[in-house]
Each structure stands twice: as C-alpha cells, then as structure tokens.
Structure 1
C-alpha cells in the first residue's frame, strides 16, 4: 500500500525522530531496564514543523 507524502518540512531540532527512549540505568525485576519516552519540545512529537509565515514588508 502506498503511503501518503506530506509536504511539511522536517523538524530542524530532531531531524524527524521526534520521540526517543532514554534508559535510566535502573533494572526492573524481570531484568530489563527502565526507560523514559521523551518527545521533541519544538515539534511536540510530530517530527514536522509548520512553515513560518511570510513577513509583509511595510513602509519604505
């Protein structure tokens, strides 16, 4: 199935990888590590940014 192509620009802060998992170093009872999921604050976890509005030049 083809995927839709979105014409929105990729976030410059996270380069399109908006959510990362960070290990805390703590081991759980089953032997796995505890992780935290952190989303990019610039794009709020979407991986894309909205284009900046075009500024209108006024005056001379």
Structure 2
C-alpha cells in the first residue's frame, strides 16, 4: 500500500524513537525513493538529532 507524505513524515519521526515494523520500513523506503521532499525531511531530522547529541556531550 502506497503512503502519502504526511504518513511518511510520521514514520520518519517514529523511526527515530523506535524500530519500525518491516512493513512500515519497506513502505517508507519506497516512498523516500520516489519523494525528494521527504528524503530531505528525513535527512534534516537526522542532522538535527546528531547535532543535539553532540551538543549534549559538550562538543
């Protein structure tokens, strides 16, 4: 089943906090393959998360 950008953004955020089910992971990967905007959103969240971790360690 195809997902839209709203569902993809929810899965991207959820995937940062907990592992996604195999089915959700596959659906998200297919969507990200086709959607540059969601790929960019995913990348931005990863960068923010990494920056927050570094700031928390005092780097």
Q: Aligning the two structures, in what range does the TM-score lie when normalised by the shorter sequence?
A: under 0.3
TM-score by length of 2: 0.21
TM-score by length of 1: 0.21
Q: Which has the higher helix share?
A: 2
Give the number of the structure whose alpha-carbon radius of gyration is greater. Answer: 1
